[in-house]
Amino acid sequence: NFYAHGFLAVWNVEVRRRGGTVGAAIMGASVRNGRKSYQSAARLAPDDVGVHWQYARALAALDVKQYGAEASAVLGKALTAGADSHVERIMQGRAAQLAEALKGDASAAQKLARQML
């Protein structure tokens, strides 16, 4: 189920962000595990806006300096995916905002990503 993999991808990254290294270790979460889950979700649903958008947002919220390039690449997939519903169009709009922000000040982009939860 691509939703399960997508949610697990974001969960891993968010636990790492909110719990730090120690909290992530206690919970068994890591960016590496999140990336694997994202890759599984993207393989199962390559044209799902939400899978790409949510993972990219989580990476940007964690650390733009370290994961900004990866987040930008994933946002590109969200922007080119087919948006068939109102919700998907909203997610694409947010992906476009974050993609633009990532071109500028890293701390401002990270703050925006955190506000987009």
Mean local confidence (pLDDT), 96-102: 97
77 pLDDT more than 90: yes
**So what's the pLDDT on residue 114?**
96
**So what's the pLDDT on residue 57?**
98
What is the chain's mean pLDDT, rounded? Answer: 97
62 pLDDT more than 90: yes
Please give the structure tokens belonging to residue 103: 């071109």
Sign, Cα dihedral of 89, 99, 73, 16: negative
41 pLDDT more than 90: yes
Whole-number Å distance between alpha carbons of 95 and 80: 10
**Cβ contacts of 45 within 8 Å, gap of 6 or more:** 2, 6, 51
**So what's the pLDDT on residue 117?**
78
